[in-house]
Every structure is written in C-alpha cells, then in structure tokens.
C-alpha cells in the first residue's frame, strides 16, 4: 500500500503541476494536454512520467532543449511524500483520503502564492464548502470545525486591521484570512491557534533573513513575502505532530 500510495502521489503531483501553472493564468486544466511551456509542443506520454522523464531528459524539453523547471519533479515528490506520510499517520481510512486531498490543495496554494502572491478563492472558499461535510470522516468534531472556521477568519482579520491601524500600511491580504478559515474547518480551533503560532515562527525564521537580503537601494525593506505557504506548512505540521508538540510545549513549561 505504501508503494501504491507513492506511485499515486507522483501522478497526482503531475496533475497538481498543471493546476499550479494554468489556474492563475486562467487556462483550462483539462484541455489541451500537457505541452512545453516554452515552445508549446505537446508532451508525449513517454516524456510525461513523473520524475523519471525529467531525469531521462536531463531537465530539458526534448524538442526545444529549453530547461524544464525543477519545480515539476519537486511537486511530484512532495505529493508522493504527503501520500505516504498521511497513510502512515491515518492508515487506509477515509481520513487519509480527505487529508491527502486537502494537503494537495495546500500544495497548489503554496506554489501559486509564491509566484503570484494570490490565493484563489476556489481553493479557500471552495475548501470550506467541500470540507464541512467531510468533517464527519476526520478526527475533528463539527463544533470544533465551526469554531475553527470563525476563529481562523476572525483572528487574521483582527491582525490585518490592527496592523493597518498602527502602521497605516497593508500587511497580509484577504486570501490569507480565507485560507486560515479553511484550515480551521479541517483542524478545528486548536489547529488554527497552532497554525498561527507555527507559521509566524517559521515565517520569522525564514522571512527575516530573506527581507534583509532584499533590502532596497536606500536601505529600506521592500521585499514582499507571501504568508500562505507558511500557513499551509503550519497546518500540515499540526496534522502530523500537533498534539505531540503541544504536549511537549506545556510539559516544558512545567
């Protein structure tokens, strides 16, 4: 089952690459078939095998010899890793299927946000609508899911308006608010609190050096860092190790 999950994850990762590239550009994810983003030549089946084709082709298009972004095999491998890890975490249960589909959505959101600094509503709001009925299969009560939905949206909204009130500048966008609300449906209010804490911590550790490296010519900090990827990472950490880390943290505090 682990092998099947890994293989399935690789091929689903290939489809996720299509979503990441086409959805923010307003293109159909169904038609036309896979094609080189540089020369537009359709990709044959033998050149569309996840990871393997990339290695065989040396990371270049067979026809125009232009480099293929390393992101493609990375997304495929991440998808496979999530499938195997969630299978170990939940076993062959409906919770595994639901959380893997949710993790794939977070993966797509992460790379779209990195490229375009936008989180499409079809994923955040759509995830809320689809996720509420699926809570039945998750280790989350409907009460906690609804509280997570309200807390997730309300907490970041308060932070955004508070930041604007203090600095008169915009910080995070509305897409982050909707994403955290969606995360709350799948993790409950406890997951929202953990996600905000973990994503802020990780964002500070990674983002501060990045911002300092991107200092403007006048010495001002001008780098914009999307927060969606950090929220997605924090939510996944909670699903895998949240309870363990929370127990360790309060035990450490005595």
Tens digits of per-residue pLDDT, 80-131? Answer: 999 999 999 999 999 999 999 999 999 999 999 999 999 999 999 999 999 9
Q: What does the CA dihedral 192, 193, 198, 199 come to, rounded to 10 degrees?
A: 50
Q: Select the highest-mean-pLDDT range: 133-142, 167-176, 207-216.
A: 133-142
Structure tokens, 187: 């993790």
Structure tokens, 59: 């990371």
> What are the tens digits of pLDDT across the range 145-170?
999 999 998 877 777 667 666 666 66
Average pLDDT, the chain: 89
220 pLDDT above the threshold of 60: no
Tell whether pTM > 0.85.
yes
188 pLDDT above the threshold of 60: yes
pLDDT at position 161 is: 66
What is the rounded distance in angstroms from the CA atom of residue 29 to the CA atom of residue 180?
Answer: 25
Structure tokens, 181: 């609300």
219 pLDDT above the threshold of 50: no
Q: What's the whole-number mean pLDDT along residues 39-52?
A: 92
Structure tokens, 57: 């082709």
Is 48 in a helix, a strand, or coil? coil
Q: What does the CA dihedral 166, 170, 173, 178 come to, rounded to 10 degrees?
A: 30
- DSSP codes of every residue in 173-191: -HHHHHHHHHHHHHHHHHH
Helices (H) and strands (E) in the chain, counts: 8, 0
């Amino acid at each position: 089952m682990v092998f099947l999950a890994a293989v399935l994850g690789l091929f689903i990762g290939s489809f996720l690459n299509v979503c990441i590239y086409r959805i923010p550009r307003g293109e159909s994810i169904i038609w036309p078939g896979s094609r080189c983003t540089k020369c537009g030549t359709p990709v044959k089946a033998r050149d569309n095998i996840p990871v393997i084709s990339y290695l065989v082709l040396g990371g270049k298009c067979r026809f125009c010899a232009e480099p293929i972004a390393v992101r493609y095999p990375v997304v495929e491998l991440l998808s496979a890793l999530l499938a195997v890890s969630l299978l170990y975490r939940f076993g062959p249960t409906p919770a595994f299927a639901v959380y893997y589909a949710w993790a794939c959505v977070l993966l797509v959101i992460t790379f779209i946000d990195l490229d375009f600094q936008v989180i499409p509503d079809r994923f955040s709001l759509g995830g809320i609508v689809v996720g509420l009925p699926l809570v039945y299969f998750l280790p989350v009560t409907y009460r906690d899911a609804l509280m997570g939905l309200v807390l997730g949206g309300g907490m970041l909204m308060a932070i955004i308006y508070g930041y604007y009130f203090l600095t008169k500048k915009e910080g995070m966008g509305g897409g982050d608010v909707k994403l955290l609300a969606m995360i709350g449906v799948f993790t409950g209010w406890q997951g929202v609190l953990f996600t905000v804490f973990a994503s802020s911590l990780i964002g500070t550790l990674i983002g501060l050096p990045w911002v300092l490296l991107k200092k403007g010519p006048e010495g001002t900090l001008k780098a914009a860092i999307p927060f969606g990827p950090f929220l997605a990472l924090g939510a996944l950490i909670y699903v895998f190790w949240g309870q363990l880390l929370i127990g360790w943290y309060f035990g450490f505090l005595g």
